Structure 1
Amino acid sequence: MFGFSARVERLSPWRRTAWGGALAVLCLAGLGVAATAGGLWALLLLPSGFFFLVACWMVAPWFHGLPDVWRRRGSGLTLVLYAMSVAGFILTVWRTAQTDAGAAAVLLAFLWPLHALYVAFEPTDFAWDRLRARLGRAVHLRVVMLWAGLAGVVWLANWAVQHSDKYRVLVLGATLTLTLAGVAASLKVYARFRKLCTALNRQTQSLLRSLEELEDAADDDRTKHRQSARRAWDTLHELVVTKADTGFSIAGVFVLPPAAVEELEQVVMTAVEADRGDEAVHRFAAQRLRAIQEACRGRIDAMA
Structure 2
Amino acid sequence: MALLAMSASGCAASAWLMRPWFNSLSSAEQRRITALPVVGYIALGSLFVLCTILLAFSGRWTSALLLIAVWVCHSLYGSGFEPPSAAYERLRGRLARAAPMRLAANWCGILGVLLGLSYVWEQPEYRGATLSIAASIIVAGVVASLRILARVRRLRTSLDEDAADIIRKLETLRQLPEGERDAQRDAAEAAWVKLRRTLDNRIDTGVSFSGVAVLPRPTLRELHHSVHRDIRKAGADRAAHRQLLARLRMLRMACVGRTDTLA
Provide the TM-score with structure 1 as the length reference: 0.75
Is it true that 1:148 corresponds to 2:148 in the alignment?
A: no
Q: Of the candidates 1, 10, 20, which is equivalent to residue 18 of structure 1?
A: 10
Q: Is residue 99 of structure 1 aligned with residue 58 of structure 2?
A: yes
How many equivalent residue pairs?
254
Contact 1:267–1:284, Cα closer than 8 Å, also in 2: no
Structure 1 position 167, deviation (Å): 1.9
CA shift, 1:154, in A, is: 1.1
Instruction: Quote the Cα distance in structure 1 between the aligned partners of 2:227 and 2:241.
Output: 8
Work out whether 1:220 is the aligned partner of 2:179: yes
Query: Any gaps of 5 or more consecutive residues in structure 2?
Result: none
Pairing of 1:219-258 with structure 2 (within 5 A): 219-258=178-217
Q: Distance in 2 between matches of 1:294 and 1:183?
A: 30
Q: Does 1:74 align with 2:33?
A: yes
Aligned-partner SS, 1:296: coil
Distance 1:229 1:137, change over 3 A: same
> Aligned partners of 1:63 and 1:255: how far apart in 2?
30
Matches within 5 A, 1:1-304: 18-20=10-12, 59=15, 66-67=22-23, 68-69=25-26, 71-94=30-53, 96-116=55-75, 117-162=77-122, 164-274=123-233, 278-304=237-263
The answer (yes or no) to whether the contact 2:173–2:234 under 8 Å persists in 1 is no
SS at match of 1:233: helix
- For residues 241 and 303 of structure 1, do their structure 2 counterparts lie closer, same or farther at Cα, with a shift above 3 Å needed? same
Does the CA contact (< 8 Å) of 1:274 and 1:281 recur in 2?
Answer: no
What's the secondary structure of 2:228's corresponding residue? helix
Aligned mates of 1:149, 1:16 — CA distance in 2: 34
Q: Greater relative contact order (Cα 8 A, min sep 6): structure 1 or 2?
A: 2
1:221 Cα shift? 0.8
State whether residues 64 and 71 of structure 1, in contact with CA within 8 Å, keep that contact through their aligned partners in structure 2. Answer: no
Structure 1 residues 152 and 275, CA gap change in structure 2 (3 angstroms): closer
Distance apart, 1:284 and its partner CA = 1.9
Summarize deviations over 1:116-144 as a string: whole Å, max 9, x none. Answer: 21111011111111101112211221112
Task: State which drifts further: 87-96 or 221-230.
Answer: 87-96
Aligned-pair distance for 1:279?
3.9
When the two chains are superposed, the root-mean-square deviation of aligned CA atoms in Å is 2.6
In the TM superposition, what whole-angstrom CA distance separates every residue of 1:123-178 from its partner, at most 9, and x where no partner exists? 1111111101112211221112111111111122113433x322222222222111
Query: Contact 2:64 / 2:115 at 8 angstroms: preserved in 1?
Result: yes
Shift of 1:261: 0.9
Post-superposition offset of 1:89: 2.3
Give the distance between the partners of 2:105 and 2:13, measured in 1 at CA. Answer: 30
TM-score, length-scaled by structure 2: 0.85
Higher mean C-alpha deviation, range 176-185 or range 225-234:
225-234
Q: 1:221 to 1:141 in 2, by over 3 A?
A: same
Q: 1:276 to 1:72 in 2, by over 3 A?
A: closer
Alpha carbons of structure 1 residues 273 and 17: separation in structure 2 relative to 1, 3 Å: farther
